[in-house]
């Protein structure tokens, strides 16, 4: 089974929705509170699958907050707070101090305080955040026919950073070369180690977009949430910054594959019929936007070829 199979099974059995406006199937659950909407999300992380070896405890703390707040941003909502449950194997005071300092640092940046949680014994480091936000206009997944499809900033750096780690772990490069690459591609490494949720951007474009999600599993998977689409490979290449293009050329990587399969970027993927307005709002935040395609009536295409969904999906062996 994979993650999508499991979610489908869970969803088929959870029939009761109470007064929820939105349940399983989007970045957040949504409840109506008077004239506003409460958005709620949760994200669980484990040392063995979510925290590359180069991350410091401080950066791990930042990551668990960012991953959760990014879902709030994907609803174009304002974060209110977050609770974090923590499982430790052999906890050390120094590690916990740095971990929680990282949480507090980034929580302040997002104006999303850590207001509680739980601690427990675990076989490995396990962190689970539950964040909540508020908006008068929650933005869901699923674009409208004729919408432009676009993203904030760029993608690809996380894929390249993980490729450097993979080359070291497979013995393709030695420790000296590994260290040199970390220094040489510092912006690539920073996008992996200290990504940012696009909170201000989500709030700024709320009134101008028809759908939105965050890029957490890679465009190759997250485009699924847009609906039917046609993507331009030429425009997709524009989403890759100069250092990523250089990295692809140096290590013989297909740049289109990198653009489609770079996860945990936490940029926003959105659709709109008011792209110029969105572009103007993002420019005020010194954030760029890049159009990559259109929402269409039927089918999924990159140029004229049928699109095969990719990205990252958790898998289990039975």
**115 vs 8: CA distance, rounded Å:** 32
Instruction: Note whether 192 and 68 are same-domain residues.
Output: no
Q: Clarify whether residues 109 and 209 are in a common domain.
A: no
Minimum mean pLDDT range among 1-10, 11-20, 208-217, 229-238: 1-10
Same structural domain, 298 and 225: yes
Do the domain assignments include residue 36? yes
Alpha-carbon gap, residue 12 to 220, rounded angstroms: 25
118 within 8 A of 35, measured Cβ to Cβ:
no
- Please state whether the predicted TM-score (pTM) of the whole model is above 0.85: yes
Considering the domain architecture, whether residues 96 and 198 belong to the same structural domain is answered as no
What tokens does 204 get? 């700024």
pLDDT tens string 117-161? 999 999 999 999 999 999 999 999 999 999 999 999 999 999 999
Within this chain, do residues 172 and 301 fall inside the same structural domain, yes or no?
Answer: yes
Number of domains forming the structure of the chain: 2
Q: What is the pLDDT of residues 297-307, one digit of tens each?
A: 999 999 989 99
Domain annotation covers residue 245? yes
125: CATH: 3.30.1330.10
In this structure, are 126 and 186 located in the same domain? Answer: no
**315 lies in some domain:** no
**Where does the pLDDT of residue 315 fall: very low under 50, low under 70, confident under 90, or very high at 90 and above?**
low
Residues 206 and 299 in one domain: yes
Looking at the structure, tell me whether residues 128 and 216 fall in a common domain.
no
Q: Residue 30: give the domain boundaries.
A: 14-135
Q: Which of 137, 127, 133, 157 has its CA nearest to residue 266?
A: 157
Among residues 214, 158, 151, 163, the alpha carbon closest in space to that of 187 is found at 158
- Condensed to tens digits (0 to 9), the pLDDT of residues 97-116 reads 999 999 999 999 999 999 99
Q: 184-211: per-residue pLDDT in tens?
A: 999 999 999 999 999 999 999 999 999 9
When mean pLDDT is compared across 4-8, 169-173, 241-245, the lowest value belongs to: 4-8
């Amino acid at each position: 089974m994979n993650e999508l199979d499991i979610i489908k099974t869970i969803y088929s059995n959870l029939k009761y929705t109470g007064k929820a406006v939105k349940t399983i199937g989007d970045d957040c659950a949504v409840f109506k509170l008077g004239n506003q909407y409460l958005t709620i999300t949760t994200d669980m992380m484990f040392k063995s699958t979510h925290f590359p070896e180069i991350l410091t405890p401080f950066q791990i703390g930042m990551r668990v907050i960012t991953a959760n707040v990014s879902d709030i941003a994907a609803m174009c909502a304002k974060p209110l707070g977050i609770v974090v449950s923590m499982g430790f194997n052999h906890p050390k005071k120094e590690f916990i101090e740095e971990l929680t300092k990282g949480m507090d640092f980034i929580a302040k940046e997002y104006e999303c305080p850590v207001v509680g949680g739980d601690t427990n014994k675990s076989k490995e480091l396990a962190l689970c955040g539950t964040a909540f936000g508020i908006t008068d206009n929650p933005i869901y997944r699923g674009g409208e026919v004729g919408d432009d499809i676009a993203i904030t900033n760029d993608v690809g750096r996380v894929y390249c950073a993980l490729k450097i780690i993979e080359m070291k772990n497979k013995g393709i490069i030695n420790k000296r070369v590994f260290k040199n690459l970390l220094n040489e591609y510092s912006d690539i490494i920073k996008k992996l180690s200290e990504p940012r949720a696009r909170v201000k951007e989500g709030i700024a474009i709320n009134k101008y977009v028809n759908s939105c999600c965050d890029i957490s599993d890679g465009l190759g998977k997250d485009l699924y949430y847009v609906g039917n689409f046609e993507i331009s490979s030429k425009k997709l290449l524009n989403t890759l910054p100069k250092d990523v293009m250089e990295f692809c050329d140096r290590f013989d990587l297909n740049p289109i594959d990198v653009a489609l399969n770079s996860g945990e970027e936490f940029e926003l993927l959105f659709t709109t019929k008011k792209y110029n307005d969105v572009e103007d709002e993002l420019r005020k935040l010194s954030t760029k936007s890049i159009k990559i395609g259109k929402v269409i009536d039927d089918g999924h295409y990159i140029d004229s070829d049928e699109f095969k969904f990719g990205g990252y999906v958790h898998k289990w062996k039975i």
